[in-house]
Amino acid sequence: MIQKKLYITEYQYLSEIINEIPTNTVVWKKKTGIGATYLELNTERNSIILEPNVPVIKGKKQKGIMGVFEGIDVSHIMQYMSNESYPVKKFLVTPESFYKVLEAAANLDIDLYSTYFILFDECDRTMKDVGYRETIILPMDDFFKFKNKAFISATAVIPSDPRFLQHNFECLIIEPDHNYQKLIKLIETNNVSMSLKNFLSNCDEECVCIFLNSIQGIAAIIKDLGIAEDSNIYCSKKKAKELAAFGSNRSFENLTDNFAKYNFFTSRFNSAVDIFMDLMPTVVMVTNLNIAYHTAIDPYGDAVQIVGRFRNGVKEVIAISNFDQNISTKTPEQAKSYLEGCEESYNLIRTLRNSTTNPGAFDTLNEALQLVKYSTFISEDGSTNHFMVDNFMYEETVKHLFHNSSAWHEAYCSSHFLPSIQKEVFFYSDKEDPKSSSNSSIKELTSKLIGALEKLEQAEREAYSINNASEVINELRMIFPEIVEGYYVLGAQELSKNSYSKKQIKDAVKQKRKNDAKSDFGFINALQSEFQDNYAGPTSVLKKRLAAAIQSYGLNLLPTIELLKEYFEVSSRTSIKGYTEKGYRIYSCKFAR
């Protein structure tokens, strides 16, 4: 693809160097916040701007511009298209809702392909997100039918889809002529959760924005620090339901006017969204591979976009990450060779399927074809899905960055960032954390917790730069209270025997506490003093005196005659001289006085 370059000064906007976004162009604007979408919204032509998600559309929408997403139907679009008050039509549309615009135009007999300019904003999302969001590329077949079209992003990647070359696309690079690096502190750690918690605990900033693509991780941090009342969580509607399961109701699908002290964002807000604040926040970007690989923040793409979201600037930028030397990674050459092998095998099965005349063989081979992993790289018409290919190559590149801290650090040494690095080694690492095993059976989880707690008890004898044993124990106690209590009450061996369900653990703990209470020597001596040999009294008096002894020792026992009989030889229920209420006579103590 032919590349052209234009330079932009520090305070210039894109509209000051070009009149309009040129057609058949991939615009790589290098720097965020230079007004690319603004330029198209103010260009005198009908436009369709594809945005990656709803918050972007709601953030950019203004009078005369129609946002199209879930809940906006074809009739609304037709009304807008027919409204003569807006001679120039501007649409902001999610990829999933683009079909509604096509349908509305068809109903009104409007030729979109020749009368509208289409712009795919944050175009690299087509390649980066397609692996888990296939619908993001739904508009692409129609995209190439438009006479006037363009891709644009500050982190653009040249797509491999041959249709870009067939349509003579060029790459226009908008190159800043000044230094725009931002200082960033990189924290390399073996316990991301603890590093983040330590940072937030010691951070006195008025506003902190944390980007962590894990609802479970966000909920745990908020709970551990007790900051629920000071936190907002920005995520999708679906993720908000997951948050509710963790007991949080401070979630928002779109940006609010009132930001909290702590603002957590999932990847939904990594790109395109404009975040306006009255102050410059501290931004923390978190990768925790032991929660999930999808928490990985790409230094070349995600990190650039995240920092660029804050239109009034940021005060400080922090990136926290752990690493996994066991991540299986491929070089670009190995990844390409791997896909070629997959394609060869896929084509072989497809050829066998198409050549057989036996219906049973055809069905079996067809079924096998659908099960082959490479089938996800094939479009419905049988052609190669080049966006999936690009996604595979991209994922392999990003995985390599988290193989070790050196690659990660090097990736941040770019035109966007000037990094410093800090290493934190905790006694207890993320990898050993049983929280990541919360979906295991109770017995499996208990076994892992026993191992973890046994190690934590050895913490004082180990030499690590940061001893986080007590914090981890408290954290585990909050998340797995029954099991941790069982460990300290029953001991490892008895807990393991009673670990088939939470109820079994609770019952065993309750019984152990009861047995321990019954064998308390001070309590036994008190009973011996309270109930002398041959003492007789009505039932209510016996229970009252027994309850007083239990209370004075703070024991969890019920003052019953059955309990009394465990310590004394007691008569059958009988009449007691001087009382109308029947009671019992205590003959002697079962324990030596």
Expressed in angstroms, the distance from the first to the final Cα of the chain is 98
**Comparing 329 with 241, which gets the higher pLDDT?**
329
User: Residue type at 402?
Assistant: F
- The pLDDT of residue 593 is above 60: no
132-155, pLDDT tens digit by residue?
888 999 999 999 999 999 999 999
Selection from 167, 157, 412 nearest residue 306 by Cα: 412
Q: How high is the pLDDT of residue 246? A: 62
253-302, pLDDT tens digit by residue?
888 888 999 999 998 888 768 888 889 999 999 999 888 888 999 999 99
The mean predicted confidence, pLDDT, of the chain is 87
Cβ 305 vs Cβ 228: under 8 Å? no
DSSP β-bridge partners for residue 251: 233
What is the distance between the alpha carbons of residues 357 and 361, in angstroms, rounded to a whole number? 8
**Comparing 116 with 450, which gets the higher pLDDT?**
116
Quick one: average pLDDT of 215-238? 86
The sign of the CA dihedral 402, 270, 121, 143 is positive
For residue 455, give every residue at least 6 positions away whose Cβ sits within 8 Å of its Cβ, in sequence order, or none.
428, 432
**Cα–Cα separations (whole angstroms), residue 370 to 136, 378, 455:** 22, 10, 46
Cβ 285 vs Cβ 251: under 8 Å? no
Is pTM beyond 0.95? Reply is no
518-574, pLDDT tens digit by residue?
677 788 888 888 888 889 999 999 999 889 888 888 887 889 999 888 888 899 999
Residues in the chain: 593
Q: Report residue 174's pLDDT band, with 50, 70 and 90 as the boundaries.
A: very high
- The pLDDT of residue 491 is above 60: yes
User: Residue type at 38?
Assistant: Y
Q: How high is the pLDDT of residue 479? A: 74
- The pLDDT of residue 243 is above 90: no
DSSP state of 501: -
- The pLDDT of residue 322 is above 90: yes
Q: How high is the pLDDT of residue 184? A: 96
176-195, pLDDT tens digit by residue?
999 999 999 999 999 898 89
**Comparing 441 with 121, which gets the higher pLDDT?**
121
DSSP 511-544: HHHHHHHHT-HHHHHHHHHHS-TTEEEEHHHHHH
Quick one: average pLDDT of 60-78? 88
For residue 517, give every residue at least 6 positions away whose Cβ sits within 8 Å of its Cβ, in sequence order, or none.
523, 553, 555, 556, 557
Cβ 155 vs Cβ 124: under 8 Å? yes
Selection from 92, 105, 106 nearest residue 48 by Cα: 92
Dihedral angle, C-alpha 236, 240, 243, 245, nearest 10 °: -140
